[in-house]
Structure 1
Amino acid sequence: MVWTWRYEKADGSEVAPGNGQAEEFAGQGDAETWIGENWKQLAEDGVDRAVLLDDGREIYSMSLHEG
């Protein structure tokens, strides 16, 4: 299983990662730790939502805006 994040604008359109490459994680916990450490920068880069994927299957999505 490969866990990744998909980044989206508020309208649902996909946004490329800031470094141009998607991060891959061995487990859900690793992916969630990474997003917890990087969500503010992603939001500053114009990402509104992050969608957690497990081998391409959507697990959940979350807003990157505080509040």
Structure 2
Amino acid sequence: MIRPRWEWALEGEDGARLDASLSPVFSTQFDAEQWLGEHWRGLAAAGAVQARLLSEGQQVTPSVSFRTP
């Protein structure tokens, strides 16, 4: 049985993707979203300004911005 892979593509201020090792790979969308909710502040401190949720390499949700208005 093949399990889906979910991961966050984290991007810096210049739009470049940050180190992929910043995001673990998840087996469910729920786990991926929960992880981001718990870790976004640390990711922002590491230079991430937005995240895109990918499933099998395809973006599946709108981008999430770490910027505050």
Q: TM-score, normalised by structure 2?
A: 0.83
Q: What is the 5 A alignment of 1:26-65?
A: 26-60=27-61, 61-65=63-67
Structure 1 range deviating more: 33-42 or 54-63: 54-63
Distance of 1:13 and 1:33 partners within structure 2:
24
Q: Secondary structure at the match of 1:25?
A: coil
Structure 1 runs (4+) greater than 6 angstroms displaced: none
Say how many residue pairs are matched.
Answer: 65
Distance of 1:3 and 1:34 partners within structure 2:
11
Partner of 1:10: 13
Between Structure 1 and Structure 2, the one with more strand by share is 1
Q: TM-score, normalised by structure 1?
A: 0.85
Bigger Cα Rg: 2
Q: Secondary structure at the match of 1:10?
A: coil
* C-alpha displacement of 1:21: 5.2
Distance of 1:51 and 1:40 partners within structure 2:
16
Counterpart of 1:62 in structure 2: which amino acid? V
